[in-house]
Amino acid sequence: MSNSILVSWVSWPFRDRPRASTLLSIFFVGMAVLLWNIAVVNWQMPFYYYFGMTILFMGLITYFIPSYYTFYDTHIEAKYLFFKVRREYTDFRCYFMDKRGIMLSTFRRPNRLDAFRGLNLRFSKDAEEKQELLELLEKRIGNKQ
């Protein structure tokens, strides 16, 4: 088999969802002020402020940066700002959809561990790739839940 690109798209929720992004930015500013008042002003420990803000931001980092998804003949690549995930189709046993994307699962049925072991594929803003992706996954994985 050749290693040609079958499906490729970019998902960037921060740009694609401006209303939610505005609300999230307001939330971050509010949390920054609250953590500053608690950790720096009251406790006089700025380490906790920077630590708390880092944890808060890193928990949602994939919302703020673009994600590049590319499907090849033999594998899937998901590229983020600092790292790249490369997984073979044979790693996954089922897939299921939600309103914003598809979760590729390593289990036969949806499982609570999917967030840690599976691969979450977010659609682009207009989800142009959705139908082509579903056809490809049906051929390669086949166990839609």
Global confidence as pTM: 0.86
Contact 67, 79 (CB under 8 A): yes
Number of residues that make up the chain: 145
pLDDT recorded at residue 32: 95
- The H-or-E segment that residue 105 falls in is strand 101-105
- The whole-number pLDDT of residue 2 equals 59
Look-up of token digits 């803003």: 125
In which residue ranges of the chain is pLDDT below 70?
A: 1-2, 145
Instruction: Give the per-residue pLDDT at 91.
Output: 93
Q: What local confidence, expressed as pLDDT, does residue 82 receive? A: 85
Res 98: pLDDT? 87
H/E element, 138: helix 130-140
10-39 tens-digit pLDDT: 999 999 999 999 999 999 999 999 999 999
pLDDT of 144: 75
Q: Looking at residue 41, what is its pLDDT? A: 96
Residue 48: its H or E element: helix 46-59
- R_g (Cα) of the chain, nearest Å: 19
